[in-house]
Amino acid sequence: MGRTDLVEYWEGSEGPFYFDPTQTRKDGTIESAFTFIDTDGVTQQINNFIQTSTLRFGSPTHVLQFIDFITDSVSNGVFSILIDGVSGLIHTRLVDPLQLPFLGPMAQDFYFQVAQGLHSDKLDVLKFGHNPDVDTASPEDVWTLGGTWVPPTTTRIHDVSGPAGFTGSINIIGLASTFLFLSETLQLTGATTVVTAKAYRIIDRVKVLGDVNPAADVSLVAQTDGTTTAVVPGGEGQTQMAIFQVPAGRTAFMIRFYANIDRAQTSGAVDVRLLVQPFGGIFRVEWVGGLMAAGNSHISHNYEVPLRIEEKSIIKMDGQSTVNNMDMAAGFDLILVDN
C-alpha cells in the first residue's frame, strides 16, 4: 500500500495488514487499543488485549503475545499479535479460535459470535439428554426411553403419534440420506399416526411449536425397522437425548460435556461415558468418570483443546448405575466447522 510510516510483518494468507507503530512502545508494552488498515483500505481498531504468554529467547529479546477478536470485511477471526520487545516489530497471524490451546474470555466471546450467526462457516450445537431410570444391568444411553438408542438401519420415513387431543405442530431436525441437515414441520392429529414427508437417517432433535405442550409423549418410529428414533417427553416441549450425528461436510469440535445425578436416589453411583462412533466404525470411549449421589453428583468438563470429531460420526453419552431407578442427565456443546 506504499505506507512507509507503518510497521508491517505478516504471516498468513489473508494479508498484508499494516499496523500503526505509534500505538506500540519499544519496551514491548502496548496501548489498550491500536488501529490498522485492512486490505480494503478501511481503518480497523483492536481493543482489550489479553497477555497470554511471555517467551524469552535470550537476553534482552522477548516477545509478548496478545490476542483479540475483530470482525473484518476480509477476515473474521482471531489475530495472534507478537510484539518484539527490542525492535518493536509487530508479527501477526490470523488463527481460528478453535485451534487456540485455552478457553479464555476472548474464546468465550468467539462462541457468543457463533451463536449470533456472525461466522457463516460455523454452527453451535448444544445437546442435552435425560434418562429418568438408569439401572444396574448394563450401560444406558442418556435419552427418554433408556436402554440402548437404536438408529434407523437406513434412511426411513417415520410414523409420528402424540397424546389424544393434541393437534399442535412439531419441528423435526435430522439428517437425510446424504448426511446433510434435513428438517420439516408436521402437524399432529392426536393419537392418530401422521407420516413424515421426508425420510431421515437420524433424528436428533424435535421441538413442539406453538403455545400448547403435549401432556404425554410424542414418538417418532422408523417404518420397517419399528424402532423409536426420537421421543418428546410429555410436558418437556422437545427431545431430551444426548445423541448427535455430525453432518457431512463438517467437523465437530467438542467444547464441553457434563453429567449429573438428579433427585431420584439419595445413594448409589453412576459410571458415565462419552462415546464416539466414527462412520463405519465402532463406538469408542472418549472419556469415563463417576457420579455419586452422596458426593460428587455433577461433572462438567471443559476442553482446553477441543475434541475433534469427524463428519458422519455419532456422539452419545451413557451411564450405568449401582442401584436401579437412578435419574441421570447429561449433554455436550459442539461447534461445527465447514470442511
Q: Is there a single domain that holds both residue 174 and residue 221?
A: yes
Same structural domain, 329 and 274? yes
Q: Which of 53, 80, 95 is the last residue of a domain?
A: 95
pLDDT in tens, the chain (339 residues): 222 232 333 333 233 333 333 344 334 443 334 444 444 455 555 443 333 333 222 333 333 333 333 333 333 444 444 444 444 444 444 444 444 433 344 445 678 778 878 788 899 999 999 999 999 999 999 999 999 999 999 999 999 999 999 999 999 999 999 999 999 999 999 899 999 999 999 999 999 999 999 999 999 999 999 999 999 999 999 999 999 999 999 999 999 999 999 876 778 999 999 999 999 999 999 999 999 987 778 999 999 889 999 999 999 999 999 999 999 999 999 999 999
Residues 140 and 254 in one domain: yes
- CATH number, domain at 272? 2.60.120.1330
**276 and 131 assigned to the same domain:** yes
Read off the DSSP letter of residue 106: H
Based on the fold, state whether residues 172 and 39 are members of the same structural domain. no
- Residue 2: inside a domain: no
Cβ neighbours for 161, distance < 8 A, ≥ 6 positions apart? 188, 191, 192, 193, 194, 218, 219
- Give a yes or no: residue 58 inside a domain: yes
For residues 195 and 324, state if they share a domain. no
Q: What is the distance between the alpha carbons of residues 205 and 216, in angstroms, rounded to a whole number?
A: 17
Q: Is residue 107 part of a domain?
A: no
Counting every residue written for the chain, the total comes to 339
Pull the grid cell for residue 27: 519496551
Tell me, yes or no, whether 257 and 332 share the same domain.
yes
**Rounded Cα–Cα distance for residues 279 and 111 (Å):** 27
- Number of domains observed in the structure of the chain: 3
Structural domain includes residue 52: yes
Inside any domain, residue 111: no
User: Does a structural domain hold residue 257?
Assistant: yes
Residue whose grid cell is 475434541: 307
Residue 104 backbone phi and psi in degrees, to 5: -100, -175
Same domain, residue pair 68 and 131: no
- Do 247 and 320 fall into the same domain? yes
- Nearest Cα neighbor of 182 from 166, 205, 150, 165 is 205
Domain that holds residue 187: 158-232
Per the domain annotation, does 78 fall within a domain? yes
Does 44 fall in a domain? yes
